Chain A
Amino acid sequence: MDLYAIIFYLFSIVTLASAAVVVFSKNIVHSAFALLFTFFGVAGLYVLLMADFLAVTQLMIYVGGILVLLIFGVMLTSDVINVQMKTGTMQTLPAVLIVSALAGTLVGVFWSTDWKVAQNAVGFESTAPKIGQMFLTSYLLPFEIASVVLLVALIGAALIARRERKAS
């Protein structure tokens, strides 16, 4: 087994095990914190795929932004003292249907794709300059639309926060 495989399995185990904790943990705060290791493991897998920019962005956006927000929410709702939140099983039938459809699609894609494995060593090249160039040339419109959507979200958030203050 070469080093690449060892690292790959290490990150995969971290990702899957922590994802299992997220799903099966009875304590919602534990679930939220376990998500940290899932995001971290996925970032590691990106690194192995030589997507360096994507990996760091994953850490920045998901760990630094979304996860912190999520933990804030969970901490505030489940109270400072651990009030039991409901983490039971419900809506079993729709869940089973959706999950099996999703899993079927993924496995189908996985089997039907003709995976090409590079025979020789592939030289590493930083992806950040390429992504930047692509965004400002070929994919300028999607990039601009995404930034407008983000701006709208930003202004919306500020507006909601302001209105609440006036009411009180």
Chain B
Amino acid sequence: MGLPRSKRGNLRQFDIATSFPMDAIQNLGVWGSILIAVLLSAIPIVFILLYALVTLYMEMKVAAHMQDRVAYMRTGWHGVLQPFADILKLLQKEDIISRQADRALFILSPYVVFIGTYAGFAAIPFSSIYIGSNINLGAFFIVAASSLVVIGILMGGWASNNKWSIFGAMRSAAQMISYEIPTALAILVAVMITGSLNLQDVTRFQEGGIQNWLLFGGPLPLMQKILIIPFTLITFLILFIASLAEVNRTPFDLPEAESELVQGFNTEYSGMRFAMFYLAEYANMFLVSGVAVALFLGGWSSPFGSFLSGPIWGIFWFIGKGMALVFLQIWIRWTLPRLRVDQLMYTSWKVLTPFLFVCIIAVGLILVL
């Protein structure tokens, strides 16, 4: 985030630590360093596209098996080619923009939503050697960047000029803003224990096996650890619940509630613009899981201490843990019914937030004493 003005004026915010020849980048000059910056920041988008294909397939298969169905069976072995078929279909669809829509905002909206999500990926530590931008305020930045998503959704809902859309957008904004508070407070609990907002540092703090994960109290002295475990467990649970609401997934999918609002804010979107919203939603699912993993589940560190650890295994562990949480999100979607609006607000303000206040005070006391 901070741009040190080095003598050659190069971009140096990328922390490729030891494995990358930093001097070579400096010799490339201005345009060379821009090129490197673009290439490095494009890594997550490659990941998002591949991950979206897998999750698209996973969502349908998990859903089907939970309801005792089999889902796609005809496109390839057990329907593995179905995501590609879906994308081909979306590419061919007509791009409809209704005449009464606000054209400029209508077109802009999916981009704003996706940029907001993608900006968050900049601070996600995929491995000890790859993090888009090793800023000291990583966790705080992700929470702030997700507010762009709220604006994008409001933009799309309003521009569609459709009552379902605007209802969906309103609900979505109200919900995401309300649940930002438990999310931020839960992050604060983790930050209090580790003493850093940098997700890379938070992960390093938890290295050394499953017992050092913040979920199980982190590498604190035994007495403190035993006292702190109940609070970290509750905090993680709340963070997960709040993250479900942040990405508008069931049981918090009121903004899209297909049975009452048709599709909410993206009702009027078709073809690739609709796909963009979908991609952003899936990317957001991994983003919130990634934050939870980095904060509470040891990030890229191996659960078996030094066994199977290292930069490449780090990527495997991080994505593996993230996908496990994504699977959990899908599982919940096909298990629980949707909440009502008042229940939604009740949960956020009167249940999750007070519990987190208790957690913050308790964790603070335990750490000080």
Contact = CB atoms under 8 A, between A and B. Distances in A.
A22 interface: no
A59 B154 contact: no
Interface string A109-123: 000000000000111
B270 interface: no
A58 B10 CA distance: 25
Nearest to A6: B30
Interface in A114-139: 121-126, 128
A26 interface: no
Interface stretch (B52-60, B155-163, B293-301, B329-337): B155-163
Given A47-B1, A68-B177, A2 B30 contact: yes
Contacts, number: 112
A123 B4 contact: yes
Given A3-B11, A59-B145, A82 B4 contact: no
B91 to A, nearest CB: 28
Interface size class of A (residues with CB under 8 A): 35 or more
A67 B155 CA distance: 12
B177 to A, nearest CB: 6
Interface stretch (A48-56, A91-99, A147-155): A48-56
B5 A122 contact: yes
A143 interface: no
A68 B180 CA distance: 13
B360 interface: no
A75 B112 CA distance: 18
A6 B29 CA distance: 13
Contacts of B1: 47, 52, 55-56
Contacts of A128: 136-137, 197
Contacts of B136: 52, 126, 128
Given A2-B30, A71-B151, A80-B163, A52 B6 contact: no
Contact of A67 (B10, B146, B151): B151
B135 to A, nearest CB: 6
A72 B176 CA distance: 14
A71 to B, nearest CB: 5
Contacts of B161: 80-82
Contact of A121 (B4, B140, B143, B197): B4
Contact of A60 (B3, B144, B158, B163): B144
A56 B222 CA distance: 36
A60 B239 CA distance: 19
A19 interface: no
Contacts of A6: 30
B151 A63 contact: yes
A56 B3 contact: no
Nearest to B12: A124
5 contacts: A27-B102, A60-B144, A68-B177, A75-B170, A80-B158
Interface of B: 1-11, 30, 33-34, 102, 104-105, 108, 112, 135-137, 140-141, 143-148, 150-151, 154-155, 158, 161, 163, 166, 170, 173, 177, 180, 197
Given A81-B161, A126-B137, 18 more contacts: A29-B102, A29-B105, A29-B158, A36-B112, A50-B3, A56-B141, A60-B140, A63-B144, A64-B146, A64-B177, A68-B154, A71-B154, A71-B158, A75-B158, A80-B166, A121-B7, A122-B5, A126-B2
